[in-house]
Amino acid sequence: MGLRAPLASEGAKGKGEVASHCPGAAGGIEARVMTDAPADTLTIVLSQMTQAVGDLAANAEAMRSVRARHGDADLIVYPELQLIGYPPEDLVLKPALAARAATLLAELAAETADGGPAMLVGSVERDGPHLYNVVALLDGGRIVAVRRKHELPNYGTFDEKRVFAPGPLPDVVEWRGVKLGLPICEDGWLPTVCRHLAAQGAELLISVNGSPYEIDKDDRRLSHVFGIRVAETRLPLAFLNRIGGQDELVFDGCSFVLNADGSTAHRLADWEAEERVTHWAKDADGRWICAPGVVAAWDDHPADIYHAMTIALRDYVTRNRFPGVVLGLSGGIDSAICAAIAADALGPDKVWCVMLPSRFTSKESLDDAARCADMIGCRLDTIPIVPAVEAFDTMLEGSFADRDVDITEENVQSRIRGVTLMALSNKFGPMLLTTGNKSEMSVGYATIYGDMAGGYNPLKDAYKTTVFALAKWRNAHAPRLSRNPVAPVMPERIITKPPSAELRPDQKDEDSLPPYEDLDRMLHMLVEEEASVDDVVARYGFDRDAVARIERLLAIAEYKRRQAPPGVKLSTRNFGRDRRYPITHGFRTA
């Protein structure tokens, strides 16, 4: 198409050169790659892809495969820390990991001597006692430039200052006569680095990212962060993000290209791998402009939340090599939506549901669970727990002889269910899913070693009102990335009936808790906004004692949450990675 600039290894060489200050480049000597005359057209491929944290060989091979498919491009761009995987957490402190990364990066660089595209690769670099988060430009068989991340995020889910040293304000990289600015993730979220690069004469910003999903974050990235960087610098910008799940984080992609006038030239799909070819040319004033391409539509609510749960669960199960999942299907909405998410993530053949009725389980719940499993298309077994409950009653009757029946006996039932499900997991191999929502986990309305037992919880960061919204949406839609594209997936009665744990006669959740709509408003302010009891009362007019009780329950349930399984982060303040409270403390706002 006439848009490809000649590679350094092709034909006669011009006078330009690119210098690297990377200690590892060319044995510690500045690697120099001679270039032709400055390019006035470029073809840049943005590779929105997943990563396997710690599997450097697999990540390198995946990058090679992308490069092999785009031999006519000038540059292939990969996400932040693509070689080692993001976030590496303390794994990156192992000296062997940095050493292996250096070896593989040198191998990838050597492969660019073939006359094919250059590569912009995220990796780590050790320099004496310091470890840096870097991006390396590989071209002409060499590491021609390395830039270190300057702004290290240290809030919420991020703690990069624990493991990385900050690099200096990065210089531009002159490559093929083009001055590239290479802000790494947080470098673009704050203004300093991009302003510095613009002042140095950068012509084009390429920002590689490891930006995890949060509700409404895609618009925040495009309009309220990187759109502002473009307006401030008057430079075009390519934002590239990874996809896929990593423990409690999930990455949604949503990569894009903005021209200097703020217009969107490209938007890549959310949640899906994509290799977007972008074509760049200089206008009459010598400024780079990206030719327009596909502007993908991104998920609205709650489809984005549902896809976050699905992708996170899929990658957690498959990368930890479980053959599938098992879960208790109670006939209630939480377990029903978890079963649907699991079938969408893995396929219904990898989802094993188990109904564990007690003497308090209603026929309605039995029927609803059976119908739900049939609609999803997954296996359902029924294992009554009555014999085990009776055995425990007999075992404990001497010790409990002078005590009334209370919540203890309710918790025994839940723990019997947990033991039973864990036995199936141990015997046959599927991972046990737990199904408690964020409302319950906030106030401790869950049984430790009972319904909290399991390896992963898709609903950990979803309030009960969110669960209702997801169930209604999923009953009306088959998600585009589903491995079980059927709808509806549960009887309507599961959504409309009052929630109940069914651990005593005629039990309802609202016997112990405020209505979920009220409870979730209280919790959102107390958790996400760190509000006081008085703040909550002032906004909603709730009874002050009721809000104070919820604050107290939130505080005393911290020990349970510390022992809960991981689950996908959806909000700005999930339990675990974001909200890290002491178990033992005496502070209350009321």
Give kind and range of the element (H or E) at residue 445: none
User: Is 80 a residue of the active site?
Assistant: yes
User: pTM higher than 0.75, yes or no?
Assistant: yes
The answer to whether 378 and 406 have CB atoms below 8 angstroms apart is no
- Structure confidence at residue 2 (pLDDT): 33
Give Cβ neighbours of residue 396 (< 8 Å, ≥ 6 apart): 412
- Read off the pLDDT of residues 325-371 as tens digits, 9 standing for 90 and up: 999 999 999 999 999 999 999 999 999 999 999 999 999 999 999 99
| pLDDT confidence bin for 16, thresholds 50/70/90 | very low
Q: Which of 22, 80, 560, 569 is catalytic?
A: 80
- Read off the pLDDT of residues 463-475 as tens digits, 9 standing for 90 and up: 999 999 999 999 9
Domain 41-290 has CATH 3.60.110.10: yes
Question: What are the strands of the beta sheet with 325-328, ordered from one edge?
Answer: 379-382, 351-355, 325-328, 431-432
- Does pLDDT of 186 surpass 90? yes
Q: How far apart are CA 546 and CA 188, in angstroms?
A: 43
Instruction: Please name the CATH architecture into which domain 303-513 falls.
Output: 3-Layer(aba) Sandwich (3.40)
**In this structure, what token pair is assigned to residue 91?**
């794994």
Give Cβ neighbours of residue 189 (< 8 Å, ≥ 6 apart): 151, 153, 225
User: Is 149 a residue of the active site?
Assistant: yes
**In this structure, what token pair is assigned to residue 64?**
């090679």
| Average confidence (pLDDT) over 311-338 | 97
- Read off the pLDDT of residues 370-427 as tens digits, 9 standing for 90 and up: 999 999 999 999 999 999 999 999 999 999 999 999 999 999 999 999 999 999 999 9
Measured at the CA of 369, the angle between CA 366 and CA 373, to 5 degrees, comes to 140
- Cα-Cα end-to-end distance for the chain: 69
| Average confidence (pLDDT) over 272-290 | 96
Q: Which of 22, 149, 378, 560 is catalytic?
A: 149
Q: How far apart are CA 296 and CA 576, in angstroms?
A: 33
Specify the pairing of strand 237-241 against strand 243-246. Answer: unpaired
| Average confidence (pLDDT) over 239-253 | 97
Domain with CATH 3.60.110.10 in the chain: 41-290
- Does pLDDT of 81 surpass 80? yes
Q: Which of 160, 174, 185, 214 is catalytic?
A: 185
Domain with CATH 3.40.50.620 in the chain: 303-513
**Residues paired with 145 in a beta bridge:** 137
- Structure confidence at residue 299 (pLDDT): 94
| pLDDT confidence bin for 556, thresholds 50/70/90 | very high
